[in-house]
A and B are shown apart, each in its own frame.
Chain A
Amino acid sequence: MVYFDNCDVAVNGSGVMATSANIQSQNYLDPAYILEMRGEMSKPAADSIRNVLNIDYYVEVDNEPNIEIINSIKAFRQDDHVAKPFPVEVAGITGNFYLQSYSFAVEPNKVTHARASFICYDQLTGNGDLSTKKKGDEGIDYNKSNSLAHGWTTYVASSGTHIEVPTYKMDYGFNAEYKPIYTIGRKFPKQVQMIKANEEIKFVRDKYKHIVFSGEKAEEALPNFENDSEADLFEIEALCGSEESQTNQLKILVSGAVVTSTAVIAGVGKQVRTAVSVNRNY
């Protein structure tokens, strides 16, 4: 029997500090009915086999393989349309996966958690026997630099205005859409194309901004982004003053994004908040 502490989770070769992970392989079957038969005649395949993998994990600012993957996707369309898969492993089951969604929420007083969802159109590999003591690769090293992202050390934006223009929560989301290209005679796709991707960032604050026109830039709608359009996630150790800890960071760039929605959120017993969502497409 494999317990969680002996079950490795790695994305593109880097161990991530996952709190949950699951892989689901799905057969898309469509029952075929014909005249003359009351029951189904057979179960022909409606689509190819897909493997979907979800991981929830703590974000480390100097070891975040999914942000590296996102950055490669964001740069990707300038080259060609063939998407590049990345190896992902859970409990010794591995496959070449495409990142289809990624999100994290930064909240005050909390360690930052991310959720990533991958899709694989190929055959998974690995020994599926979970009755052994351990599943995974001995070489995977976790929490190499103790660089957890935290609400205490996330600054929106980094120019020192995070107190004057307070942000109560920041949500980051990335979605990508792929199209597997199948050919006659092949069970698995010949290639996988990336169709489109987008980033959405939501800031919960207490200043409402009317949407004035379509295509309004984030820098204009969010007061302290005029000169400094990024959010910086530092590790908790940055509070203790070591130089290295103050240089390790994840940057979330907001420049170039446009406002997609603004909202006022009110309820009994709560402060009235506003939410501004900005979006960038790739």
Chain B
Amino acid sequence: MFDFNKSPRLHRGNQHFFINEEEVSGVQQVSANFSLPIAQLEYMGMRSSPIEYAPDGGFKGEVSLGANLISKDFFIDLTGYSGFNGYILKNKSNSTENFSFTSGYLTSYSHKASIGKAPTVDATVSVLGKMGRIPTGESPKVTTDLENIQNYYPKYGSNIIAPGSIEIEGEGFEDFKSNRVNQYSIEISTERNPIYVLGHRYPTQVELNYPVEVTCKFSLESNDIVPYTNSDYPCAPKNGDLTIKLRDKDSNAVAHQYHFTNLILHSQSFSTSANGNQTLDLSYKTYINRP
């Protein structure tokens, strides 16, 4: 008889997620998928010929991750040019049994915080290299990463961010202090353009599509904030520079800081109801050009 209590299962205790050679802390979930570029060939006269397939497109995989922001923001630095490898290991000393990917590029980043919850980061990664069980000698980079993982010790202490220790400030955002910000989010869209050349299966280069769009959304319970009037655009647009500081709730030291310039209000949603307070949802956008 099969004993389910003794059957091996992989639970969170033996799942470690690494970006290059650094373990990502606070991970809540990782899901990875790929589809193969297989197309069935249809041609005239094919009747009783065997079904044939041919590659049609490049290899594409996607990894989506969610993490609580409890130490470092591992993903904000990946919104730039750099690609990276990812490894999920049962334990650090056994790198052979891995589920991994190479040539991962962040395509979306989302950071959220709201009353009553820890700040979270969600990221989507486009995988343009290999995905699955990857041999430890796949490339010099993979070999080095997996060797260093075996000796990895966390470099970053944990920072517990409470909603009360988040500061939103900046020119144009002064009225956020006197009105209750219930939640905010920062979304960065970093679409990639893989460059393929003849004679190669994988992209030889991956470009970041500029300009990069940044969206900052806020939900406020109104006190003295004056709702924006659409006809004020374009003569008096609502814009400004924004800084968000997340402080450790115990030490009050700034653990994370985000700064965006030239944010401009794109949409506003005003709502009021019998069961709650008047709220204002504001969405700002800015764009980052190629440096």
Chain A residues with CB under 8 Å of chain B are 4-9, 15, 17-21, 57-58, 106-111, 134, 136, 140, 142-143, 146, 148, 150-156, 162-163, 166-170, 236, 239, 269, 271
Contact = CB atoms under 8 A, between A and B. Distances in A.
Nearest to B45: A8
Interface string B13-43: 0000000000000000000000001010111
B43 A142 contact: yes
Nearest to B49: A142
14 contacts: A4-B45, A4-B46, A5-B42, A5-B45, A5-B46, A7-B44, A8-B45, A9-B44, A17-B41, A109-B57, A111-B55, A142-B46, A148-B41, A236-B55
B47 A152 contact: no
A66 B46 CA distance: 20
B197 A152 contact: no
B41 to A, nearest CB: 7
Contacts of A146: 52
Nearest to B196: A108
B7 interface: no
A217 B43 CA distance: 39
A199 to B, nearest CB: 19
Given A150-B55, A271-B207, A108 B44 contact: no
Contacts of A163: 197, 199-200, 204
B206 to A, nearest CB: 12
Contact of B45 (A58, A136, A155, A170): A136
Contacts of A136: 45
A17 B199 CA distance: 23
A143 B49 contact: yes
A162 B199 contact: yes
A140 B43 CA distance: 13
A116 B47 CA distance: 23
Contacts, number: 112
Contacts of B196: 108-109, 151, 168
Interface in B47-71: 47, 49, 52, 54-58
Interface string B199-214: 1110010010100000
B37 A18 contact: no
Given A19-B42, A148-B54, A150-B54, A167 B47 contact: no
The 3 A-B pairs with the shortest beta carbon distances in the complex, nearest first, are A108-B196, A166-B197, A17-B43
Nearest to B57: A109
Interface of B: 37, 39, 41-47, 49, 52, 54-58, 193, 195-201, 204, 207, 209
A110 B41 CA distance: 12
Contacts of B43: 17-19, 57-58, 142-143
Contacts of A170: 198
Given A142-B43, A151-B196, A151-B199, 11 more contacts: A9-B45, A108-B197, A134-B47, A136-B45, A143-B43, A143-B52, A148-B41, A154-B199, A156-B198, A167-B198, A271-B193
Nearest to A155: B199
B189 to A, nearest CB: 14
Contacts of B42: 4-5, 19
Contacts of B56: 109-111
A109 B37 contact: yes
A113 B196 CA distance: 18
A152 B200 contact: yes
Nearest to A137: B45
Contacts of A167: 197-199
B44 A152 contact: no
Contacts of A134: 47
Contacts of A166: 195, 197-198, 204
Nearest to A160: B199
Contacts of B197: 108, 162-163, 166-168
B47 A5 contact: yes
The residue in A7, A20, A170 that gathers the most chain B C-beta atoms within 10 A of its C-beta is A7
A155 B200 CA distance: 9
Contacts of B49: 142-143
A180 B88 CA distance: 70
Contacts of A107: 198
Given A109-B55, A143-B49, A236-B55, A58 B41 contact: yes
